[in-house]
Amino acid sequence: MDKKETDENTEFIKDENEPKRNYIFQNNSITKIATIIVVAFLILIIIGLVASGTSFFSSDL
């Protein structure tokens, strides 16, 4: 069987000037802008789903 590597101290956010390799996000402006764009897109999807659901189920037949 293959052995797992023991170096798994993965951090969630890495500061800009730290020389680490095990991280998920880097703490810089690109990450912050991308996070804002993704959250805004998800909010728009949720608003669209709610709006289409209310207009679909409130139709007077």
Q: Where do the structural domains in the chain lie, given as residue ranges?
A: 29-54
Helix or strand or coil: residue 42? helix
At 40 the pLDDT is 98
Confidence of residue 57 (pLDDT cuts 50, 70, 90): confident
For residues 6-34, average pLDDT: 75
H helices of 1-61, where? 29-57
What confidence tier does 33 reach under pLDDT thresholds 50, 70, 90? very high
CA-wise closest residue to 16 among 4, 26, 5, 24: 26
Top pLDDT among 61 and 36 is at: 36
pTM for the model stands at 0.61
Radius of gyration of the chain (CA): 21
pLDDT at 43 over 90: yes
